[in-house]
């Protein structure tokens, strides 16, 4: 059976009252290789490897190199996104990985990035994203206000 991108929706038909729809990881990388943080081609390749290690589907990858230094990269995934922002002068990178569905592992992408950028230290926080169906309507209204 041939699978098209239109069929890759991460959680078709989920309708439970309070369903987890995905996992969101926030990663801070410290004491990284300045050269790698400022190498756009290297970062694009590393992002692609990280996406694949997470079991996600890369739809598009865009990046921008700032002068005199620093890069922002954004991977649009069938399952959501991966973004990275680098500060080579501080040897620091901020990463955000959100994937929907139960077939992806965004924490693997984070570990791939930490290793590739030779992070001396990192802080990884993750949490589940859940649908709001079970929330009382007055709470939903309060969130919008």
> 145 lies in a domain?
no
Compute the average pLDDT of residues 124-138. 74
Answer yes or no: 85 catalytic.
yes
For helices 40-53 and 106-116, angle between their N-to-C axes, nearest 10 degrees = 150
Q: Please, which residues have CB within 8 angstroms of residue 34's CB and are 6 or more apart in sequence? A: 88, 89, 91
Secondary structure (3-state) at 71: strand
Predicted TM-score of the model (pTM)? 0.79
The residue behind tokens 């009252």 is 17
> 117 lies in a domain?
yes
Per-residue pLDDT at 6 = 41
Count of domains forming the chain: 1
Q: What is the CATH number of the domain that holds 37?
A: 3.60.90.10
> 59 lies in a domain?
yes
Given 25, 32, 34, 80, the catalytic residue: 80
> 6 lies in a domain?
no
> 103 lies in a domain?
yes
> 9 lies in a domain?
no
Answer yes or no: 100 catalytic.
yes
Range of the domain at 70: 21-129
Tokens of 61: 């990858």
Strand 121-130 relative to strand 58-65, pairing:
unpaired
Answer yes or no: 33 catalytic.
no
Given 85, 126, 137, 138, the catalytic residue: 85
Given 25, 100, 110, 111, the catalytic residue: 100
16-66 residue pLDDT tens:
455 678 999 999 999 999 999 999 999 999 999 999 999 999 999 999 999
Strands lying side by side in the sheet with 58-65: 58-65, 71-77, 80-87, 92-100, 20-30, 121-130
Compute the average pLDDT of residues 103-127. 96
> 8 lies in a domain?
no
> 51 lies in a domain?
yes
């Amino acid at each position: 059976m041939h699978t098209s991108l239109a069929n890759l929706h991460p959680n078709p038909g989920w309708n439970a009252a309070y369903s987890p729809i995905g996992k969101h990881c926030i990663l801070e990388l410290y004491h990284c290789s300045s050269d790698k943080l400022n190498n756009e081609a290297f970062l694009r390749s590393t992002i692609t490897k990280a996406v694949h290690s997470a079991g996600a589907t890369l739809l598009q990858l865009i990046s921008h190199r700032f002068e005199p230094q620093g890069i922002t990269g954004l991977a649009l995934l069938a399952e959501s996104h991966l973004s990275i922002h680098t500060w080579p002068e501080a040897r620091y990178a901020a990463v955000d990985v959100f994937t929907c569905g139960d077939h992806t592992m965004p924490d693997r992408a984070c570990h791939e990035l930490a290793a590739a950028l030779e992070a001396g230290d990192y802080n990884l926080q993750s949490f589940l994203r859940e649908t709001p169906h079970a929330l009382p309507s007055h709470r939903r209204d309060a969130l919008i206000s």
